[in-house]
Amino acid sequence: MSNEQSTSRARPNYAPLTQAECNNEDSEWVTPYMVANDQDVLNQIKIIIGGHFLGNWATYTDVDPKVRELWWILFKARFRWTEEQGPAILRAYNARVSNWLRPTFKRARASGVRPQWCSDEVWENLVRHWSSDPTFLARSEAGKKNRMSEKALTTQ
């Protein structure tokens, strides 16, 4: 991962949609619960991210803030909600994206098969990152030890 990517983790200031922006007739109404739990909403998130996953981002927080903002803009164009729900929608959206990417990459690492929306070049860079980044390797090792201790507790 380049230094530029790893140091650009500042969260952009996502402004909630105004009521006028929410009233797009082509967009679908959602609630925070739907953003957090609905499979159709997740499928749209996958389409948005899959079409714009162009960097070597191992986690959602690694994604360039400008790209995260683009994903959010595309999400806002696809869905609408009341103005009061804006902050809750944004929290649910960020959690949903993060909670989808994490296991997606975990499965891909375990199987050695890249997600179809991830280019070969990006995939190769991610594999190199996962096999050489000290922070990632330390977290991975800690997770393995934690899982082993949990297994030991359940088998006693």
Q: Which of 81, 85, 13, 78 is nearest to 46 (CA)?
A: 78
pTM for the predicted model, two decimal places: 0.74
Distance (Å, rounded) from C-alpha 27 to C-alpha 45?
Answer: 14
Domain boundaries, the chain: 3-155
**What pLDDT sits at residue 151?**
66
At residue 14, the pLDDT reads 46
Asked if residue 50 lies in contact with residue 74, where contact means CB atoms within 8 angstroms, the answer is: no
β partners of residue 140? none
- Average pLDDT, rounded, for the chain: 84
Question: At 79, is the secondary structure helix, strand, or coil?
Answer: strand
**Does the pLDDT at position 12 exceed 60?**
no
Q: For residue range 18-74, what is the model confidence (pLDDT) as tens digits?
A: 545 555 678 899 999 999 999 999 999 999 999 999 999 999 999 999 999 999 999
